[in-house]
Structure 1
Amino acid sequence: MSRPGVKSVLIVVPHVQAGERLLDILPALESDMRVQVMISTPETGYRWSGINEYVRRLEGLVIPWHQAVSTRFDLVLAACHWGLVELDSPILLMPHGVGSLGSRIGHDGDVDRHNLHRDHLMLGDNVIPTVLALATDNERDVVGETCAEALPGAVVAGDPSFDRMLAGRPYRDAYREALGAAPDQRVVVASSTWSKYSLFGADPTIFARLVEELPRPEYLVVAVLHPFVWHAYSRRQVLAWLARAREAGLVVLPPEEGWRAALAVADVVVGDLGSVPQYAVGLGVPTLMSTDSLAGVRPGSPADLVSRIAAPLHLDRPLAPQVSRAEPPADVEREQVVRTITGRPGRALSILRGACYALLGLDQPSHEVPVSPASLPEPIV
């Protein structure tokens, strides 16, 4: 080896949203000459279509999962619990969406289930993550109730993705230009998560309806679909389904990136029970939430709170009047939602960096790592 003694870091990428969240913090580590980063995708028994291609595009050292499980790393970074029980290394686990609690009712219909239960965090008597990065102090309280064994390793770190959106606010003009928005156009971001209760699941024509009902000179409609939608059906199929809407002017963002920049410049967001409308309300953007998605919302969850703040979107009614009437949340409402997103606004990267270096047993570099603004959107052409 050319660099003996270098600390090894593995990032676990079971799906795009986990990979993108890990990329939010990777710049805080990978330039350190004492550290080498590797990437692997767990063999969970279900692999999303396109994950291998996505991982290759990261241009890092990709190792097969059987090698990852037989190697002792100095640090494992993960934003999903898939495969972690197979690894024998210090693990830092963070959420890949808004917080760790989640908002959707589980597949078994249990309305009390969330991602901080002990069956997600423990294997037998052992806590799986060495460090459990949480978004808010409330989540730490929940861990104390549902899995007290994980509490010593719990760190409230905030939300690095939200911090990047806030850091992107000064680049509004550049983001709008990249999206193709004319100076006087209002940007409407239409976001769909996955599940039958999602915006796209409830009304597959929703994107075509938006571009056809909203006057083109006044509005630019931008589509953001959850990566699982793309991977479950393929890029070719999704674009085929959206062909009519694209011909009418719909801007479609890829599953990897662009949605955060779009949110930073959105004039209105139309969405469902997914993370994007939660971030939108936290940013103070006028937001409509599909009433059809409420059937999949876990009571007491962040999406439940957003449903009581955002204007209801009725899919069986004309869309233009609903969009035109959307109002920004009141300051007190926005602050309520922000508290469900982050308990350490603007500090997530520095907190997570400190936790990583503590696990590596290294002193942190003296230079600060600034929060990078959300990347420029690159619409699919």
Structure 2
Amino acid sequence: MTDRKTVLVVVHTVVYGRRLLDIFPLLGADFRVQVLFTAPPHAFQDGVEQFLRGLGSAVVPWSQAVRMRFDLALAAGPRGMEEVRAPVVMVPHGANFLKRMVGEANSPVPGLRPGDLAPGGGKLPAAVVLAHRADTRELARTFPGALPLAAVAGDPVHDRMTASLPARERYRAALGLRAGQKLLALTTTWGPRSFFTRFEALLPWLAEQAGRADIRVVALIHTNVWSGHGAWQVRSWLSRCRAWGVHLVPPTADWRATVLGADWVIGDHGSATLYATLTGAPVLLAATPEQEINPRSPAAALARVAPALSPARPLTEQLAYAAEEYRPEEYAPITSRITSEPGRFSRNMRALMYRHLGLGQPAYPAETRPLPMPPPLREGDADEVWEVTA
């Protein structure tokens, strides 16, 4: 068969690649479709080559990709997309457009600005995928010209984490936790007001306090931190804490199964912390910069509900308090804001892609895959193995 439809997956960064990894496998079993990959220049592209190599994907150099024609392109970011000769389906690379520009309370939120969806004032995408109906109101406020292109498909991370909740004990066993042992996950976004910027002051205290209580600690650091500073630098900055037992999840590993295995999560205003509310584990916040949080997002609601971490009191006391005060009903409005199509992302997204390809869908349901088992938490450099799992 030589008349296959071609789909170009545009991987600017590992963060974008991870989001797209929840999407393009929906096409993978169809012999009528050939999926190809490319990697445009990007400030945070460190690790993309390893990511694509780990997939075993067919990679077209960017300089060649922009000269070819494709039947569809998938992207989670705008850089260079005006050069791609294909109908573009643009997907968000994180949860719910959580951030805003610092000091600009009514400014368009990143991800929905004209420059994010029509870079350089060029062509609009064929579709703008949104997770929740409420995001259409944000789009109408920030870029009304793109509103007819909106497709509310849901959120793949929400659906895969929710589908994987029954396997929580298996994830904990895969991590190497002993019976009854507790796990504390630290989740951080990137930027000058992230939890990561407090690691130098807080991580030694967290490691020492957790170690005394036989609580294992794992840090899930945003890939842009690894890319922006370099893996050697991040490991060097955290070398003493690693020696004290803090485990680092490498940037290409799937962080979601680790969060599913956690007993508590300490985080900030990033996507990983918001997704952690799906697990039922108590969440504490170490950084909630109001000037950087979109006030209409679930991150703002989480900042009003979750307890704030303080180094002035013992860690175990605060973890116990968070567990005692945790009320699922208080978090339900936050988790319900992640998606208005719970459990239906795969179905909706596959239908959208096949509609733009001009093909009928395969005659079987689109699958929401459970998350793969996480690598075990090991001591020292063993935590730094790079791998890509779907």
Residue equivalent to 1:110: 104
Once the two structures are TM-superposed, the CA of residue 168 in structure 1 deviates from its matched residue by 1.2
- Residues 195 and 287, structure 2, Cα contact 8 Å, conserved in 1: no
- Residues 202 and 292, structure 1, Cα contact 8 Å, conserved in 2: no
Residue equivalent to 1:19: 17
| % same residue | 36
Q: Give CA-to-partner distance per residue, 1:8-55, whole Å, 9 cap, x none.
A: 0100101111101111122210121011111111124x3532322222
Residue identity opposite 2:140 in structure 1: G
Matched, 1:6 2:4: yes
Matches within 5 A, 1:190-269: 190-216=186-212, 218-269=214-265
Residue identity opposite 2:179 in structure 1: P
Matched, 1:155 2:151: yes
Once the two structures are TM-superposed, the CA of residue 292 in structure 1 deviates from its matched residue by 5.7
Q: Give CA-to-partner distance per residue, 1:64-83, whole Å, 9 cap, x none.
A: 11111111110101111222
> What is the distance in 2 between the residues matched to 1:185 and 1:70?
55
Residue equivalent to 1:67: 64
Normalising by structure 1, what TM-score? 0.92
Q: Give CA-to-partner distance per residue, 1:73-96, whole Å, 9 cap, x none.
A: 101011112221221211111111
Residue identity opposite 2:255 in structure 1: W
> What is the distance in 2 between the residues matched to 1:205 and 1:125?
43
SS at match of 1:177: helix
Between 241-250 and 356-365, the greater mean CA deviation after superposition: 241-250
Normalising by structure 2, what TM-score? 0.90
Alpha-carbon spacing, 1:116–1:167, altered in 2? closer, same or farther (3 Å): same
Q: Give CA-to-partner distance per residue, 1:179-205, whole Å, 9 cap, x none.
A: 221111121111111112111212324
Matches within 5 A, 1:77-92: 77-92=74-89
- Residues 182 and 263, structure 2, Cα contact 8 Å, conserved in 1: yes
Residue identity opposite 1:202 in structure 2: R
> What is the aligned counterpart of 1:341 among 338, 343, 360?
338
Once the two structures are TM-superposed, the CA of residue 324 in structure 1 deviates from its matched residue by 2.5
Once the two structures are TM-superposed, the CA of residue 127 in structure 1 deviates from its matched residue by 4.9
Residue identity opposite 2:12 in structure 1: P
- Residues 265 and 283, structure 2, Cα contact 8 Å, conserved in 1: yes
Between 290-299 and 247-256, the greater mean CA deviation after superposition: 290-299
Between 199-208 and 289-298, the greater mean CA deviation after superposition: 289-298
Once the two structures are TM-superposed, the CA of residue 291 in structure 1 deviates from its matched residue by 4.1
> What is the distance in 1 between the residues matched to 2:256 and 2:156?
12
Residue identity opposite 2:164 in structure 1: G
> What is the distance in 2 between the residues matched to 1:125 and 1:258?
35
Residue identity opposite 2:101 in structure 1: G
Which blocks of at least 5 consecutive residues in structure 1 are unaligned?
none
Once the two structures are TM-superposed, the CA of residue 124 in structure 1 deviates from its matched residue by 7.3
Matched, 1:142 2:138: yes
Between 125-134 and 274-283, the greater mean CA deviation after superposition: 125-134
Matched, 1:280 2:276: yes
> What is the distance in 2 between the residues matched to 1:228 and 1:339?
27
> What is the aligned counterpart of 2:49 among 26, 49, 52?
52
